[in-house]
Amino acid sequence: MAEEDLAAADAVMTLGIGSVAVFHFHLALEKTLKAVIVEADGLQAIPYSHDLRFLLSLTGLDAPEELLTFLGTLSPHGVIASTPGRMRAIIKNSAKK
């Protein structure tokens, strides 16, 4: 499923809709991190969070500061774009550019 979101991000990026690409890229990262958490800890319940830095912290993996900064920058954009009304507005505004 994360692979499909990554492909969607690539596809909409080629159309010049960067904000929608960010949403799908965020979703791909979120799904990947959650899969790592489940695999590492054997958790049955997936954490309900869209915060990529928080999810990374649950993996137990070490990450360079640059990655933490990137995830902290990306996280709010994925959450904003996940709201249907906001997503429509993002697409509409992107089409005007």
Q: Answer yes or no: is pLDDT of 78 > 80.
A: no
Specify the pLDDT at position 20. 83
Convert the pLDDT of each residue in 31-74 to its tens digit: 999 988 888 777 667 778 888 999 998 888 888 999 989 888 88
Interacting residues of 11 by C-beta distance below 8 A, sequence separation 6+ = none
* C-alpha–C-alpha distance, residues 9 and 22, integer Å: 7
Tell me what the mean pLDDT of segment 12-27 comes to: 86
**What is the chain's Cα-based Rg?**
14
What is the distance between the alpha carbons of residues 97 and 64, in angstroms, rounded to a whole number? Answer: 35
In the chain, pLDDT over 90 holds for what percent of residues? 11
Residue type, 49: S
Any idea which residue has 């697409």 for tokens? Answer: 91
**Residue boundaries of the structural domains of the chain:** 2-96
